[in-house]
Structures are given as C-alpha cells and as structure tokens.
Chain A
Amino acid sequence: SQQGEEDPQALSIQEGENATMNCSYKTSINNLQWYRQNSGRGLVHLILIRSNEREKHSGRLRVTLDTSKKSSSLLITASRAADTASYFCATVSVVGNTPLVFGKGTRLSVIA
C-alpha cells in the first residue's frame, strides 16, 4: 500500500518562480525522502529529513516536516526549465526496518 500522497498531482509554473509540493503520509515514520524522476529515467535521491528534524536545505531545495500533521513539503526556489520532472516523497515506517514506500508523485513543468 502507498504511504505518501503528493499534492498537487501536477504543477505548471514559469521559470524563476518557486514551486511547492506537498506530501502527506499515514503512519509514524523514521524519515522521509524526496526523489526526482526525469522522463524515461530512474529516480534520483534529492534529500532526506529525519523524523526529529523540522527543516532541511540543499541548494535551491527546502524541505519541511511536520510530524504532528504527518506532512512534508518540498520547495524549489528560482525554478529552471531543467527542474521539469516528477517529484516523489518516500517514507520509511518506524515499525520494523522497512523499505521505501513511494507516493504517485507531482509532475512539475517549468516553462521557460
């Protein structure tokens, strides 16, 4: 079963704008990760945030985590056409040592 659900399903913005994607999950987690998938390619890891962290930055990426609301957000600042891709959140449950469970992703289109 899928744990994470991304919102929105699709997002279209102009180059230079910020893009925000959200992820909600159902059970308690060990950590949450965001991945990116370019069309026709495999997934690439972007960033990991642990359950005891609230915010994390990596370059133009900013991830927040609210464990009380069971939600996370990924912000891409100053978007570029090359950011066009699908973005997935993936969670690992605290119950056991379980592998990543992915949502269906957000398709981001950045228009030049």
Chain B
Amino acid sequence: DAGVIQSPRHEVTEMGQEVTLRCKPISGHDYLFWYRQTMMRGLELLIYFNNNVPIDDSGMPEDRFSAKMPNASFSTLKIQPSEPRDSAVYFCASSLGTGGVVEAFFGQGTRLTVV
C-alpha cells in the first residue's frame, strides 16, 4: 500500500477563499483522523471518522471548517472562508481501530498558507 495520501502538499490561497484538502486513507483502515499542526499549539485533533461516520468534531475550530468522508477511501477537509490564522500543516491519519491499540499512519501533510 502507498500509505496515506494527501493532496495538495502545499496550498497558498488568499484570505476569504475556499480551501479543500484531500485524503486517501490506507485501504482497510476503519478510522480516519484530521490533525492540524502549528508551532504554538502543536498537533490538534480536529475530527475523526469511524467507518465513514464522524464520531467527534469537537476539535473543529469554527463553523468555517467542515469535513466529509463520502466513502471508505476518501475524505475532505474544507475551510470556507479561509483566514490567515488557518495557516498550518494539516495531517490526515488512518488506523485499524482507534489508534489507541494499534499505530496510526500519517500522510505527508498539506502545508496551508493563507495570505
């Protein structure tokens, strides 16, 4: 398996624009996580899915953020409208189980810059 695949790797956008980040988890994994990483706050869990169903989105910072998982092999994280403070690296990870018993596999991340 190619691992968790995220696209794009880098995204630069202007404030107010819509941004869509994409993730393809490892085949067969039933959990998918979206994390955000900044120097100030470290790695924050935004939302996670189990069998395509959102389980906990309490980490989503605002209504401007939304995430979907239409099928087992694809998820999106959308920011609309984007703001400069959304600039961060966004990681998608998948695991078989919660990630608490077995390891979580991370994608390479999408570095988002909002100007």
Contacts and interface: CB of A to CB of B under 8 A. Distances in A.
Contacts of A41: 108-109
A13 interface: no
Contacts of A88: 43
A97 B91 contact: no
Give the size category of B's interface with A: 20 to 34
B100 A31 contact: yes
B4 A101 contact: no
Most chain B CB inside 10 Å of its own CB: which residue of A2, A43, A44: A43
Given A30-B100, A31-B100, A31-B101, A99 B106 contact: no
Interface of B: 4, 31, 33, 35, 42-43, 45, 48, 56, 91, 93, 98-109
13 contacts: A40-B109, A42-B4, A42-B93, A43-B43, A43-B91, A45-B105, A99-B48, A99-B99, A100-B45, A100-B99, A102-B43, A104-B42, A105-B43
Interface of A: 2, 30-31, 33, 40-45, 48, 88, 90, 92, 97-105
